[in-house]
Structure 1
Amino acid sequence: MTTRRWVMPLKVATALTLSIVIALALGWNKPYWAAFAVIVMAATETNGHSLKKGRHRIIGTFAGVIIAFVLVDLFAQHPLALLLAYSLIIAVCIYQQTNPKNGYAWTIGLMVSCVIIVMGKLSAEQTFDIAALRLQETILGVICFSFVFSIFSPVSSRVVLLNTLLSNAKTKQEKIEQAIIDIQSNEMLSRDVSWSDSLKYLARIDDLLQAAKTDSYQINSEFPIWETIRDEQNQWVLLGGHLSEAINLIEERFTTEQKQQLIVALTALKNRYVNTITLLSYVVENPQATNNCIRQHMVENTLSVDQFSLPSLLHHKELHHGAFMMLAQNLVKMDTLQASIYQHLTQAILSESPSKIKATKKAASALFNLSLDSERLINVFKILVIFWISVGLWLFIPMQGGVMIVMLSLIFGSVALSLPFVSPRYILMHMIVWSVLALLQYIFILPHLSQIWQLGLFYFINVFVLWFYFNQPQQVFHRLLGCQNLMLMTTSAIQLVPTYSVETSLLTIMLLSIGLLVIFWVYNGVYSSQPEYVFLRQLSQFRIRLHFGLKKLVNQKTNKLFSLRISTPVQAVSLAEMASTKIDWTNYEQVDKTQVTTLLNFGYRSCFYYRSFTDSYEQWQVTQYNESINLFMVECLQELIAITGVTMICENMSTQHGSKLTALQDKLSDYQGKLPSLYGQFTLDQIDQTYQLITSLLLFIQSLDDVNQQVSKQSLYQLKFTPFAL
């Protein structure tokens, strides 16, 4: 890894220098815009992510140009109307900027429109010139980056995707091997083993798949097959949940015959993963291998796997309400699903298109679907406060370049809000440091450089050194800020007619400092973005999203015109986990950091059991629906909805939550115990399916109780009293 440390700095420095030199050679007046495009695209994981970001940057630039043209044309003579209309555009762009698919395009659209409006000074001619220059500079930067990064040691998203699938397959193989050991030694399957994929892993696969679609012809040409593989990975989550439910229902040890059949079944499932690992390992280690070589390797190394049956489990229904049958059915489904995944993976790698795969898209429940996210709405409110404060500073405090405060506050405010837990104070401190270093070179070195190749060499050396020494993933902020400050402080030196004025650079630093101070107070004072507050907010959002999800599950009425959806609970847990890594836990003696990690794991488990229960309930309604049983289930769910409707992060509420959850568990267990006596009113299959459904709900409630107990132990409400200071 160390021997290749110079590769990335060399590529970034080459692409950036090339963009500046070409822009100057073509007579374009702001080559630093092309350099900015290179810098931002370089701060990504793979070539596919970079090309995707470049495409979004171009789309956002076009959108920003159109926004600026429309606003200047309609409201050039009506400043208040212009500010109000632009506030609406700001709100939409900031709400969408955290969208994982196209959020960057919305951010660039906002930034470009702001730059054009401010620098164009509401003049039609000047606005057009600035817009045209921004477009051509952005396109040049994207082209230079794509050219250098595509021909010189490209990092393929396809390879990263295959490595991620390979790592997941190895993890599943280890779990299956551990399950076989448990059966042989304990004659039972462990209830502590999670059979499902991490929900973060599924998000990772989706992200890599979208990136690989951009930079890999093989992925793009066989994308429907890869989408099928992704959907099958999602199906595994549900099967893993149902398998855990079956394991929790079984309380006695397996018989010798059952042990033998289970070992055969698990061995067959393990061998399917061995085949998957063999295929992926060969393709990753031999990226240039032809299809014939891959086929030959598969013929020589693929294990033969026979379909298995589990008769001793499928026909064992005396005391366990179909638990053995449920275990057997899910193992068979898992085996069939993994066989399908392997088949589709082979077709995708060998580019063997099967018969047309039909995409099964879930029909929209309403004509208009609106998705709401609380953290996004908070960001919208914050940016509007920042915008109007900066407008007030521009209008009521006379200073040179005052209008630039609006532009800088809006641009850096949107950046700060898009980067969780990056403090504006931290940005300000490092910006001053990098600005001073750039200014020293601007004063003592740049005035002596008169040739274009000298300028190119100056930027090449600076960027190379910066990316070489700050090469760790966690240092990406330093790379971005260092490069952007270098360009910002030396802009006048790379004009067509260079000028050297320290006053301009110092004025820029002063305006940036004022803008960042505004951002700092809003960032920490209005719905604070300090990690402690975000952590608590997301734990509350976890509860709220479960609350509304359960209400939607119970409410069968659907509005065909309008539907409101909120983000998933697992997204809240994921953001809470991210916030927990930024909290200085030494300031909170009564809170144990390891126990906080346990709390987050319980949160993920609750999301997993919630998803499993909703799937079980929906299947039960389709196959074994009974009105009286459903009334009881709805009654229990209503009680759970009432419990999740009240905060857990409080001194006394956690105890009340715990007692209510325990009472609800007892109620469900009593009903579950009465089910055998109802034989005659219901068929045996109905009783078994109901028993399994109640078990699924009990597991979900128990996981919520674990979360509640962990919250009460840690006194997390103390995090609310976190101060902040400049």
Structure 2
Amino acid sequence: MTTASIKAIKVSASLSLAILLALSFGWEKPYWAAIAVIVMATTENYSHALHKARQRIIGTASGVVLGFVLLALFGQQRELFLLSELILGGFAAYMSARSRHAYAYRMAFIVALIIALASGLSETFSFHLAVLRVQETLLGVICYSLVFSLFWPEKKDPNVVPRQVILSQAEAGLRVLKFIVVTLVSWMIWIYLPMPGGFMFPLIAATLGLSIIEFPHHYLNKVLGLVYIWACIVLTQYVFVLPLLDNGWQLGTFYFVNTFAVWRLFPKDNQLPMRILGGQFLVLLTMNAQHLRPVFDIHSSLQMLLFLSVVLIIIRFVVYFVDTFFVVSGEVKIE
């Protein structure tokens, strides 16, 4: 059996196990555990995955605390909350370019926003979300570690640390500027246009913006194309396949087969975006099927696809204009 097939089997088993265990525990958002598996599976090897898992756990715990602080201080003041989001997100964007612990900074900010905005700025519901987020993250890490330790185990080298490119202060400053512009534009659209879904749109804009502002604008064109390709594949199965499954093992098999296909068809390093988008779209666009009482409503999935499309278009143009302006002005060189 090839190395690519072994890796695909282990990732598929980890993701399916995480979803099924979360459902058996009665947890509401199994896709959080699945995303933790996907994030670990996009690393170079098992040692790197464990390193990233530690950063994810540290970032999640820090983000929970930060989220409650934001709610306590600015939960009833939208303008001050937006200002604090810009400051904290800008700091996370800067550290993502200048620190060896970039992933932990990003996770802390993303989890803090989820705790605050996904709860509708409600402290009572946010505590429930915080506990659930920590539980789901730990479950994903445990499932991944367990499967990769028991099946075709790899040797762990504690001295191996993933390569982290440290950028210049000017390049880090550009990331901060891009994040601030993307966040401000998204909030203005949400405030002045009748966007559905509560705080979901600004939440997606801030978290996605922080994650992909590092990519050049021409690369984001390809990302947008991949979004629609994966959306068509996943939504077709969501409409015609998932409603026919009525047992837990069938649901687990569905995620196993699809995850295996993604990792087996795109095993190369330069195909990493295909694996990330394929895995995350698989679990996010079918999240309603992961409830204890599954819901097969295409409208929520299409709404999320709309949000993702609008946010990606905003990020693409912001990255293009910022990079073009600073290249032309000669203030910083973009590689």
Same fold (TM over 0.5): yes
* Structure 2 counterpart of 1:439, one-letter code: L
Cross-structure match for 1:441: 237
- Does the aligned pair in 1 maintain the 2:5–2:264 contact within 8 Å? yes
Cross-structure match for 1:519: 315
Cross-structure match for 1:242: none
The alignment status of 1:76 with 2:75, answered yes or no, reads yes
TM-score (norm 1): 0.44
Distance in 2, matches of 1:46 and 1:537, equals 38
Distance in 1, matches of 2:198 and 2:189, equals 8
Distance in 2, matches of 1:89 and 1:527, equals 22
Distance in 1, matches of 2:176 and 2:263, equals 33
The alignment status of 1:141 with 2:92, answered yes or no, reads no
Distance in 2, matches of 1:147 and 1:529, equals 49
Cross-structure match for 1:378: 174
SS in 2 for 1:59: helix
Cross-structure match for 2:45: 46
* Structure 1 counterpart of 2:10, one-letter code: K
Match of 2:219 among 399, 403, 423: 423
Cross-structure match for 1:292: none
Distance in 2, matches of 1:29 and 1:449, equals 19
Alignment of 1:483-562 (within 5 A): 483-528=279-324, 533=327
- Does the aligned pair in 2 maintain the 1:382–1:522 contact within 8 Å? yes
- 1:440-488, Cα deviation, whole Å (9 max, x unpaired): 0000000011111110000000001111111111111101100100111
**Residues 422, 65 of structure 1: alpha-carbon distance in 2 compared, 3 angstrom cutoff:** farther
The alignment status of 1:210 with 2:209, answered yes or no, reads no
- Does the aligned pair in 2 maintain the 1:91–1:380 contact within 8 Å? yes
Cross-structure match for 1:697: none
The alignment status of 1:27 with 2:26, answered yes or no, reads yes
SS in 2 for 1:74: helix
The alignment status of 1:55 with 2:54, answered yes or no, reads yes
Distance in 2, matches of 1:101 and 1:529, equals 29
The alignment status of 1:391 with 2:181, answered yes or no, reads no
Distance in 2, matches of 1:529 and 1:100, equals 26
Shift of residue 67, structure 1, vs aligned partner = 1.1
Distance in 2, matches of 1:149 and 1:436, equals 31
Aligned residues: 331
SS in 2 for 1:153: coil
Cross-structure match for 2:205: 409
Cross-structure match for 2:256: 460
SS in 2 for 1:64: helix
Shift of residue 110, structure 1, vs aligned partner = 1.4
**Residues 44, 372 of structure 1: alpha-carbon distance in 2 compared, 3 angstrom cutoff:** closer
Distance in 2, matches of 1:422 and 1:209, equals 33
SS in 2 for 1:527: helix
* Structure 1 counterpart of 2:226, one-letter code: H
Distance in 2, matches of 1:117 and 1:384, equals 19
**Residues 523, 157 of structure 1: alpha-carbon distance in 2 compared, 3 angstrom cutoff:** farther
Cross-structure match for 1:205: none
Shift of residue 151, structure 1, vs aligned partner = 2.5
- 1:291-318, Cα deviation, whole Å (9 max, x unpaired): xxxxxxxxxxxxxxxxxxxxxxxxxxxx
- Does the aligned pair in 1 maintain the 2:216–2:320 contact within 8 Å? no
Shift of residue 155, structure 1, vs aligned partner = 3.7
* Structure 1 counterpart of 2:263, one-letter code: W
Gap regions ≥5 residues in structure 1: 162-207, 213-370, 541-575, 580-726
The alignment status of 1:474 with 2:270, answered yes or no, reads yes
Distance in 2, matches of 1:7 and 1:529, equals 46
* Structure 2 counterpart of 1:28, one-letter code: W
- Does the aligned pair in 2 maintain the 1:394–1:402 contact within 8 Å? no
Distance in 2, matches of 1:39 and 1:454, equals 20
Alignment of 1:54-133 (within 5 A): 54-99=53-98, 101-133=100-132
SS in 2 for 1:156: coil
Alignment of 1:313-332 (within 5 A): none
SS in 2 for 1:66: helix
Runs of 4+ in 1 over 4 A off after TM superposition: 419-422
- Does the aligned pair in 1 maintain the 2:118–2:203 contact within 8 Å? no
Distance in 1, matches of 2:218 and 2:169, equals 20
* Structure 1 counterpart of 2:237, one-letter code: Q
- Does the aligned pair in 2 maintain the 1:90–1:110 contact within 8 Å? yes
- 1:352-390, Cα deviation, whole Å (9 max, x unpaired): xxxxxxxxxxxxxxxxxxx96110111001101111111
Distance in 2, matches of 1:471 and 1:151, equals 22
* Structure 2 counterpart of 1:16, one-letter code: L
Shift of residue 150, structure 1, vs aligned partner = 2.1
**Residues 211, 382 of structure 1: alpha-carbon distance in 2 compared, 3 angstrom cutoff:** closer
Gap regions ≥5 residues in structure 2: none
- Does the aligned pair in 1 maintain the 2:23–2:292 contact within 8 Å? yes
Cross-structure match for 1:591: none
SS in 1 for 2:29: coil
Shift of residue 495, structure 1, vs aligned partner = 0.9
Distance in 1, matches of 2:191 and 2:246, equals 40
Distance in 1, matches of 2:238 and 2:138, equals 27
- 1:544-565, Cα deviation, whole Å (9 max, x unpaired): xxxxxxxxxxxxxxxxxxxxxx
Cross-structure match for 1:15: 14
Alignment of 1:185-204 (within 5 A): none
**Residues 529, 459 of structure 1: alpha-carbon distance in 2 compared, 3 angstrom cutoff:** farther
Structure ranking higher on relative contact order (CA contacts 8 Å, 6+ apart): 2
- Does the aligned pair in 2 maintain the 1:15–1:145 contact within 8 Å? yes
- Does the aligned pair in 1 maintain the 2:59–2:107 contact within 8 Å? yes
- Does the aligned pair in 2 maintain the 1:47–1:150 contact within 8 Å? no
Shift of residue 408, structure 1, vs aligned partner = 1.3
- Does the aligned pair in 2 maintain the 1:29–1:496 contact within 8 Å? yes
**Residues 420, 52 of structure 1: alpha-carbon distance in 2 compared, 3 angstrom cutoff:** farther
Distance in 1, matches of 2:325 and 2:93, equals 15
Shift of residue 424, structure 1, vs aligned partner = 2.5
**Residues 157, 525 of structure 1: alpha-carbon distance in 2 compared, 3 angstrom cutoff:** farther
SS in 1 for 2:2: helix
Measured on the aligned residues, the alpha-carbon RMSD in Å equals 2.3
**Residues 456, 396 of structure 1: alpha-carbon distance in 2 compared, 3 angstrom cutoff:** same
- 1:528-556, Cα deviation, whole Å (9 max, x unpaired): 499xx59x876x5xxxxxxxxxxxxxxxx
- 1:244-299, Cα deviation, whole Å (9 max, x unpaired): xxxxxxxxxxxxxxxxxxxxxxxxxxxxxxxxxxxxxxxxxxxxxxxxxxxxxxxx
Distance in 1, matches of 2:151 and 2:215, equals 30
Shift of residue 156, structure 1, vs aligned partner = 3.5
Shift of residue 152, structure 1, vs aligned partner = 2.3
Distance in 2, matches of 1:40 and 1:529, equals 33
* Structure 2 counterpart of 1:210, one-letter code: V
SS in 1 for 2:238: helix
Distance in 2, matches of 1:455 and 1:88, equals 42
Distance in 2, matches of 1:430 and 1:375, equals 27
Distance in 2, matches of 1:152 and 1:429, equals 35
Alignment of 1:149-298 (within 5 A): 149-156=148-155, 158=157, 209-210=160-161
